[in-house]
Copies of this chain bind each other. A is one copy, B any other.
Amino acid sequence: MAATPPPPPPAVALEQLSSNKMFGGRNIRFRHQSATLGCPMTFSIYLPPSPASNLPVLYWLSGLTCTDENFIIKSGAQRAAAAHGIALVAPDTSPRGLNIEGESDSYDFGVGAGFYLNATNEKWKNWRMYDYVVKELPKVLSDNFEQLNTSQASIFGHSMGGHGALTIYLKNTDKYKSVSAFAPIVNPISCPWGQKAFSNYLGSTKSDWEEYDATCLIKKCSNVSTPILIDQMFVTTDNTIESPSWIIGTAILTVFYAVDTGDDDKFLAEQLLPSNFEEACKAVGAPLSLRMQPGYDHSYFFIATFVDDHIAHHAQFLKST
């Protein structure tokens, strides 16, 4: 018996890089040529167990230095996504391979640090991660995965990706059902990471920056009725000695303090600024669940701990209609 002829290739050519079964579904990684960014881009998708159709989509935006793979490998989110019947989609964090001068000089700007905005500075004109995530990627998905319902979408992310999720949601409450974030940069115009990125990508006109600042955006949003969930890690001096039996001699005690009062504490006070966002939400009556999580750091161990709660949060609002 002759084989059935294969279907015609789709509009956007996707090159599959890997496929791994997990929790009955599959992690699949793809590369495609991005028209928006002018370079090849990778993204990862987790498809929950088949048979399935009309699957809602939950976008994950990663933080500085990440690719599309960190979340897929480290978060353990697939377990809850399989249980709830939600597809997870993780894009990369910036264009790559364009060889713009200085694009790889620092961890917090350029490659791996797209900040989910559309750059207006001519030098960084390819840095249009906002359009890529909001417009191109959903089209690529709907063109290629008939089991997805891309009109049922929510978005979440971590750190720079939490900033991305919040700003993209607040600018497109018609397109996304819900938003949540882990330790997001909520007020980039007031922190060093944001100021460095925005001044380079957007130029010196600070009113332009406000279009990509969650704390500024929420003040103009009167239509946010879905609760925003944020988990914020923070270090306490207490948490270094919360289990005295972990302290093993003086040398170790010293290391404990050095580890735990380091960068993560600085991130909160200097870069993340959750209280600025909390105050802005209060001022406009936007519902916010800001959960402070003592003793956690900025790593994926923190994300893995609470990701089930986030997926359950989104599942409430992603029920297909």
Q: Kindly state whether residue A252 has any CB partner on chain B within 8 Å.
A: yes
Given contacts A50-B243, A297-B21, contact A16 B252 (CB under 8 A): yes
> A221 contacts the other chain (Cβ, under 8 Å)?
no
Measured between C-beta atoms, what is the minimum distance from A27 to chain B in Å?
A: 6
Question: With the chains together, A110 CA to B16 CA distance in Å?
Answer: 34
- Are B20 and A301 closer than 8 Å at their CB atoms? yes
CA distance A19 to B243 in the complex (A): 13
Per-position contact with B for A1-39: 1 when CB-CB < 8 Å, else 0?
A: 000001111100111101111111011100000000000
State the oligomeric state as a number of copies: 2
Q: Is the CB of B21 within 8 A of A255?
A: no
The interface stretch among A73-81, A151-159, A172-180, A271-279 is: A73-81
A316 within 8 A of B: no
- A3: min CB distance to chain B, Å: 11
CA distance A78 to B13 in the complex (A): 39
Q: Is the CB of B22 within 8 A of A251?
A: no
Judge whether A51 and B243 touch: CB under 8 Å: yes
Among A19, A20, A22, which residue has the most Cβ atoms of chain B within 10 A? A20
- Taking chain A's interface residues, is the majority helix, strand, or loop, or is none over half, making it mixed? mixed
- Contact between chains at A251 and B13 (CB < 8 Å): yes
Q: Which residues of chain A have a CB within 8 Å of any CB of chain B? A: 6-10, 13-16, 18-24, 26-28, 47, 50-53, 73-74, 76, 78-79, 144-147, 239, 242-243, 245-253, 255-256, 259-260, 295-297, 299-302, 304-305
The interface residues of chain B lying within 8 Å CB-to-CB of A248 are 10, 14, 16, 144-145
Give the residues in chain B near A18, CB-CB below 8 Å. Answer: 259
Chain B residues, CB < 8 A from A76: 76, 79, 304
CB distance from A235 to the nearest CB of B (A): 9
Extra contacts besides A7-B247, A19-B256, A22-B301 (11): CB < 8 Å:
A6-B253, A9-B251, A23-B305, A24-B305, A26-B246, A47-B243, A50-B242, A50-B245, A50-B246, A51-B243, A76-B304
Contact of A305 among B22, B247, B252, B255 (CB under 8 A): B22
In the assembled complex, 10 residue pairs joining A and B whose CB atoms fall closer than 8 Å, in A order, are A7-B249, A14-B248, A16-B256, A18-B259, A22-B305, A26-B246, A27-B301, A76-B79, A145-B248, A146-B245
